[in-house]
Amino acid sequence: MFTNNGSTLQTDITTFGVNMKLAHLGRQALMSVMAVALVAGMSVKSFADEGLLNKVKERGTLLVGLEGTYPPFSFQGDDGKLTGFEVEFAQQLAKHLGVEASLKPTKWDGMLASLDSKRIDVVINQVTISDERKKKYDFSTPYTISGIQALVKKGNEGTIKTAADLKAKKWVSAWAPTMKSGCGRMFRVSMCVPMMMTQPNIRICA
């Protein structure tokens, strides 16, 4: 959960069988599945005066920002409709509030800007927690952990212990852009293999 400091929503929610208190829309864990959510940045006083929850209920819709291109979290199904874990959570949250979820697919580089400009009420999407972002937003307990992981062929366990050991070896990355920007000085990205696993940043090395 990821929201602006000073949010003041007060309600109860039961999601996936777990009941918990919403002292904030995001300041405390919002749900058992703990989707990352954000509420537009504003001061404590202005947020309280604004009454986001009342605005959402009066409007009848919760404007939800998400990427919509990232299975299994949010993506287009075979029928062309958005589906995925974060989509379902958004729908359940809206249902609990007595409103409809209005899903707003948004490119990541414009996600926070859309939030800050109030074009959306909340972001339910993976967001990396950083000290700088925590100054402005509140986060839920993380629900995924991303990091460089390596899978090697049986029998090669002792040959690859660090990233430097990949030099001169054949390997592929499941997330080539990240590998290029983060490790491009150390070794070359030869190809990208699209895949999704429990930890979405996993790399396959052989």
List the beta bridge partners of residue 18.
15
Q: Is the full-model pTM beyond 0.75?
A: no
Q: Which carries the bigger pLDDT value, residue 113 or residue 185?
A: 113
Domain residue limits, the chain: 52-145+182-197
The total of other beta-carbon atoms located within 10 Å of residue 74's CB is: 26
What secondary structure letter does DSSP report for 200? T
Q: Is the dihedral of CA 93, 95, 99, 102 positive or negative?
A: positive
Which amino acid, residue 16? Answer: F
Q: DSSP assignment of 62-98, as one string?
A: EEEEE-S-BTTTBEE-TTS-EESHHHHHHHHHHHHHT
* 18 three-class SS: strand
The arithmetic mean of pLDDT across residues 177-203, rounded, is 38
Checking if the pLDDT of 11 tops 80, the result is: no
Q: Which of 33-47, 114-128, 146-160 has the weakest average pLDDT? A: 33-47
Stretch (H or E) spanning 137:
strand 137-139
The arithmetic mean of pLDDT across residues 4-18, rounded, is 32
pLDDT at 33: 32
Contact between 100 and 108 under an 8 Å Cβ cutoff? The reply is no
* HSE (side-chain half, CA atoms, 13 Å) at 62: 24
Assign a CATH topology to domain 52-145+182-197: D-Maltodextrin-Binding Protein; domain 2 (3.40.190)
Distance CA 120, CA 38 (A): 9
The arithmetic mean of pLDDT across residues 20-32, rounded, is 34
pLDDT at 132: 87
Checking if the pLDDT of 140 tops 90, the result is: no
The arithmetic mean of pLDDT across residues 17-35, rounded, is 33
Q: Which carries the bigger pLDDT value, residue 74 or residue 127?
A: 74
* 2 three-class SS: strand
Distance CA 92, CA 21 (A): 16
Checking if the pLDDT of 184 tops 60, the result is: no
The total of other beta-carbon atoms located within 10 Å of residue 83's CB is: 17
CA 36-41-43 angle, 5° bins: 130
Checking if the pLDDT of 80 tops 50, the result is: yes
pLDDT at 65: 93
